[in-house]
Chain A
Amino acid sequence: DAKTTQPTSMDCAEGRAANLPCNHSTISGNEYVYWYRQIHSQGPQYIIHGLKNNETNEMASLIITEDRKSSTLILPHATLRDTAVYYCIVRVAKSAGGGNKLTFGTGTQLKVEL
Chain B
Amino acid sequence: DVKVTQSSRYLVKRTGEKVFLECVQDMDHENMFWYRQDPGLGLRLIYFSYDVKMKEKGDIPEGYSVSREKKERFSLILESASTNQTSMYLCASSRSGGFDEQFFGPGTRLTVL
Asked if A and B are interacting partners, one says yes
Chain B CB within 10 A, most for which of A42, A44, A98 = A98
Number of B interface residues at 8 Å Cβ cutoff, please give it. Answer: 30
With a CB–CB cut-off of 8 A, which chain A residues contact B98?
93-95, 99-100
Contact with B along A37-67 (1 / 0, CB 8 A): 0000111111001000000000000000000
Binds A, one of B13-21, B43-51, B64-72, B78-86: B43-51
Tell me if A100 and B106 are in contact (CB < 8 A).
no
Q: How many A-B residue pairs have CB under 8 A?
A: 70
Tell me if A42 and B107 are in contact (CB < 8 A).
yes
Tell me if B40 and A106 are in contact (CB < 8 A).
yes
CB distance from B59 to the nearest CB of A (A): 8
The DSSP consensus for interface residues of chain A is loop
Tell me if B50 and A97 are in contact (CB < 8 A).
yes
With a CB–CB cut-off of 8 A, which chain B residues contact A102?
43, 45, 102
With a CB–CB cut-off of 8 A, which chain B residues contact A114?
none
B75-113: which have CB < 8 Å to A?
Answer: 90, 92, 94, 96-107
Chain B CB within 10 A, most for which of A32, A87, A103 = A103
State whether the Cβ of B4 lies closer than 8 Å to any Cβ in chain A.
Answer: yes
B1-51: which have CB < 8 Å to A?
Answer: 4, 31, 33, 35, 40-45, 48, 50
Q: Footprint of B on A, CB under 8 Å?
A: 32, 36, 41-46, 49, 87, 93-107
Query: What are 11 A-B pairs with beta-carbon distances under 8 A?
Result: A41-B107, A44-B102, A44-B104, A87-B43, A95-B96, A95-B98, A98-B48, A100-B100, A101-B48, A102-B45, A104-B44
